[in-house]
Structure 1
Amino acid sequence: MTSPPPPSPPPLGEFLQARRARLQPGDVGLPAGTGLRRTQGLRREELAALAGLSIQYYTRLEQGRENNPGGAVLDGLAAALRLNEEEHAHLYALANHAAERVPAGGGPADREIRPGILALLARVRPWPAYLLTRTSDILAANPEVFALFPGLGEWPPERRNSIRYLFLHPMARGLFEDWERAALSTTAQLRSLLAADPRDPELAALVDELAAGSPEFVGLWQRYDVRRRRSDEETYRHPRLGEITLAFEVLRLEGGQRITMYQPKDPGEAGREVLRALAESAAAHPPRRAG
């Protein structure tokens, strides 16, 4: 008779385990010792000692049997795990959820599309721009978005999601010049959503789908990098437009929505030519309609 799989660790315990596994003794000033280490990364007792905790207490934290760590405990763990400021805040957020000091996230994603947002997406053309939910479902987009991301417009509207496109669309890996960098950044952004609601069913469903379809996603998800989506730039090897580099800005709205707008990195004639080419491609290759 097959034994059932072990229960998944709670979100706080999962974060602690994942970040502990990424540290080696030499990273924190401990001797490597002799012989083969059976533990990936630091042992529980090593991390507990670095954080000033008993091994019993730390084990209860990882297993979810201790749900109310105080600030001094969390700060000690953050220092021991070498967390940056954003990761430190994420640790606090997970602990607050574990202790039920904050309510779970605000329910289903806000999918309302305000008329003013639609007008903005049209007004900024030919800059590609779209409206996303917190889990990156595309609620609305101007035509240049579908020109920039070939194949996205062939998916039915309910399937259009920028993270799903990156990991599961067959054209995405060739489109992004540095796909690995984009995948790492996107997975870290998805991980950061756990701070809002570790039990978010929409997030869980998306993660399950990506894990089933992309081994690369599984490896990146297990790293437990945390990073909110920020303004940046991306280079694309576009099948119709050649190599183009676009900067993008992220504008956050109420309800977890955000607008992402792209513009050429080059503000001169070369950049204007990119925009003209996007507009022409958008006119020639309209997205699939609903229904």
Structure 2
Amino acid sequence: MDGKTQLGEFLQARRSQLRPEDVGVPTYGERRRVPGLRREELALLAGVSASYYTRLEQGQSLSASPEVLNAIAAALRLDESERRYLHDLARPDRQRGRRPAPERTTEAMQQLLNVLGDVPAIVLGRRSDVLAWNRLGHALFAGHLDPGAPDLPTRRPNMARLVFLDSHVRDLYTDWPSKARAVVGNLRMVVARHPEDVALHTLLGELSAKSAEFASMWADHHIKACTVAPYDMHHPLVGPLTVVQQTLNSGPGPSMVVATTEPGSPSRAALALLAQVTGEAAAQTRLSCDPAQTRPRTAKT
């Protein structure tokens, strides 16, 4: 899908979701064949000509100025994340073919991951591939998977795929639709910034084919930045807990997602219990894999 198509589909979808009464457009009691604003009504609200807006929505132009895009964003009642998404879609240079660089965890991010021993943390690439996680991050988000999977590029878990296609991860979230919409909204922002990423488009095609819920949410064109969000979870080992998932990202590279809990809360106690249980399991695994510890001792004569 090229930039013109994405820009046009986004504008059309968001225009159809606005009711005339939401923006003060009189309808004089007329019955409309399709929901939402008409193109000429949206153009009037944005202060541009109807013919120009029509060309923009039909993908016949990608030369809109930042001022025009801001006016259209205001008319569509877009929030800041959606406004940035609109500007990304309309970037004139986004059609150039640039092969994305391979993703890897930086040394500084790995050090931070190691320091956060008592806080669940995972490192995600732009496509939501898990590049690394600490022991508690693995235990909280995907304890049923091999803890060494992120170390092998061909076996790396993908959090978007897990949220939609893995029943274990789906059951973790009490309000799964809220988490799912956040995942979809974030992927929309990523695809606008990386339209040349073939692997990303392959992932989107797979999710659309295997999950009707993903396909429906993707068609809504809702954008959501997954920066800070509380989630009620139900972990199979420690039961219910509420975490705040925060995304830490200081640049264009991988991001780190950490899950924090309120001090002194039952959720903090649940995380402490999860750390204890998984720590004991990890120690037992190391013990069973160490020949020196498992070799039978011979009695001295």
**TM bracket, shorter-chain basis:** 0.7 to 0.9
Q: 1:152 touches 1:160 (CA, 8 Å); kept in 2?
A: no
Q: Which moved more, 1:185-194 or 1:147-156?
A: 147-156
Q: 1:244 to 1:44 in 2, by over 3 A?
A: same
Matches within 5 A, 1:236-251: 236-251=233-248
Greater Cα shift, 182-191 or 153-162: 153-162
Could you tell me how far apart the structure 1 residues matched to 2:104 and 2:194 are? 20
- The higher-RCO structure (CA 8 Å, 6+ apart) is 1
Pair 1:117-2:112 in alignment:
no
1:221 is matched with 218
Q: Do 2:4 and 2:61's aligned partners in 1 also have CA atoms closer than 8 Å?
A: no
Q: Show the counterpart of 1:202.
A: 199
TM-score normalized by the length of structure 1: 0.83
Q: Say if 1:9 and 1:64, in contact at 8 Å, map to a contact too.
A: yes
Query: Which residue does 1:68 correspond to in 2?
Result: 63
Alignment of 1:279 with 2:275, yes or no, is: yes
**What is the distance in 2 between the residues matched to 1:278 and 1:68?**
53
- Contact 1:247-1:262 within 8 A present in 2 as well: yes
Q: AA paired with 1:43?
A: R
Deviations 1:121-171 (A, max 9, x none): 222113111111012100111122222124651595424111111111112
Residue of 24, 27, 31 corresponding to 2:26: 31
The 5 A counterparts of 1:90-109 are 90-96=85-91, 99-100=92-93, 107-109=99-101
* 2:84 aligned residue: 89
1:269 Cα deviation (Å)? Answer: 6.8
Mean alpha-carbon deviation: is it higher for 21-30 or for 6-15? Answer: 6-15
Give, as a single letter, the amino acid of the residue that structure 1 aligns with 2:42. L
Alpha-carbon displacement from aligned partner over 1:166-221 (angstroms, at most 9, x marks no partner):
11111233210111111122211111223423343232122112111211112221
Q: 2:48 aligns with which of 46, 53, 58?
A: 53
Larger deviation, residues 155-164 vs 56-65: 155-164
* Number of residue-to-residue matches in the alignment: 277
Which of 1 and 2 has greater Rg?
2
Q: CA deviation at 1:111?
A: 1.9
1:238 Cα deviation (Å)? 1.4
| Shift in alpha-carbon separation, 1:229–1:73, aligned structure 2, 3 A | same
| Residue 249 of structure 2 is aligned to residue 252 of structure 1 | yes
Contact kept, 8 Å, 2:173 with 2:232, in 1: the verdict is: yes
- Compared CA separation, residues 8 and 250, structure 1 to 2 (3 A): closer
SS, match of residue 90 in structure 2? helix
**Same amino acid, percent of matched pairs:** 38
C-alpha spacing 1:269/1:192, structure 2 compared with 1 (3 Å): closer
* Whole-Å separation in 1 of the counterparts to 2:106 and 2:87: 33
Offset, 1:275:
2.9
> 1:19 deviation in Å?
0.9
**What does residue 211 of structure 1 align with?**
208
Inter-partner Cα distance in structure 2 for 1:272 and 1:45: 54
Q: Which residue is equivalent to 1:289?
A: none
Deviation at 1:22, TM superposition (A): 0.8
When normalised by structure 2's length, the TM-score is 0.81
CA 1:104–1:237 in structure 2 vs 1: closer, same or farther (change >3 Å)?
Answer: farther
Cα 1:9–1:216 change in 2 (3 A) is farther
Q: RMSD of the TM alignment (CA)?
A: 2.8
Q: Structure 1 unaligned segments of length 5 or more: list them.
A: 1-5, 287-291
The DSSP-based 3-state class of the residue aligned with 1:140 is strand
